[in-house]
Structure 1
Amino acid sequence: MKLTIIPLLAVLIAGIPAAVSAGDQPNVIMILVDDMGYSDVGCYGGEIDTPNLNQLAANGLRFTQFYNTARCWPTRAALMTGF
């Protein structure tokens, strides 16, 4: 009985700091689309009504300088891996 309680207790105690500090980290949403121009979204002056994206932009960060390659896979790989 003691042999099963000790590992279980260790796992529970180890998970407590992670649960407490999880709220301190920011939420990150990455939206990756193909063939979308800079002004296609409403928050950048586009004609398409995008109320959810406009709300996200009003309450968060908006990036104005991003360059991609002619093919989309290097950009996707760089964003997803950080290289």
Structure 2
Amino acid sequence: MLYGILLLSVLAGACGTAAELPHILIIYTDDLGFGDLSIYNPKAAYKTPRIDRMAREGIRFTDAHSPSTICSPSRYGLYSGQQIFRSTGRGGGAFEGPGGPSYLQPATLTLGDMLRARGYRTGVFGKWHVGLTWYDDAGKRLGGGFANA
């Protein structure tokens, strides 16, 4: 069963106009084994032809390693480029349940911030789990650097 996040940055901006720039789509899933997609395993229980095509025509990152048994640390790393245990001092207890603090502090430079600085329009859709609140202590909406979060 695929559980996941669809991190969609349908974008425009390394160094020119939006029409010149490639789109970036990151599909980030939980509980997905290497052999669960038919691109990696022709005998997979489910055929995934559209994902297979995107994988064939795009870039595949096949050597990632999870820093934890829960999803929050991996997501934090993807968004910030940092190791959650080193940058937040949270140790192994990253998940605090609904209303818990956001691990991405407003000053944290994120993938979304960097892409927006280059002219991209960004969005994140699906499972967030980088802290289960959307607001900081002052009531300001947190978006992890993504314009549409």
- Shorter-normalised TM range: 0.5 to 0.7
More helix by share: 1
* Aligned residue number for residue 67 of structure 1: 65
Per-residue displacement from partner, 1:37-78 (whole Å, max 9, x unpaired)?
A: 011011011332001101101111122201012221010011
How many positions carry a matched residue from both structures? Answer: 64
- State TM-score, norm by structure 1: 0.66
More strand by share: 2
Q: Report 1:1-80 matches (<5 A).
A: 21-45=17-41, 46-69=44-67, 70-80=69-79
1:81 aligns with 2:77: no
Structure possessing the higher relative contact order (Cα contacts under 8 Å, 6 or more residues apart): 2
Return structure 1 stretches of 4+ with deviation > 3 angstroms.
Answer: none
- State TM-score, norm by structure 2: 0.39
Identity %: 31
- Looking at CA atoms only, which structure, 1 or 2, has the larger radius of gyration? 1
* Aligned residue number for residue 16 of structure 1: none
Gaps of 5+ in 2: 1-15, 83-149
The whole-number CA distance in structure 2 between the counterparts of 1:67 and 1:26 is 27
One-letter code aligned to 2:64: F
Gaps of 5+ in 1: 1-19
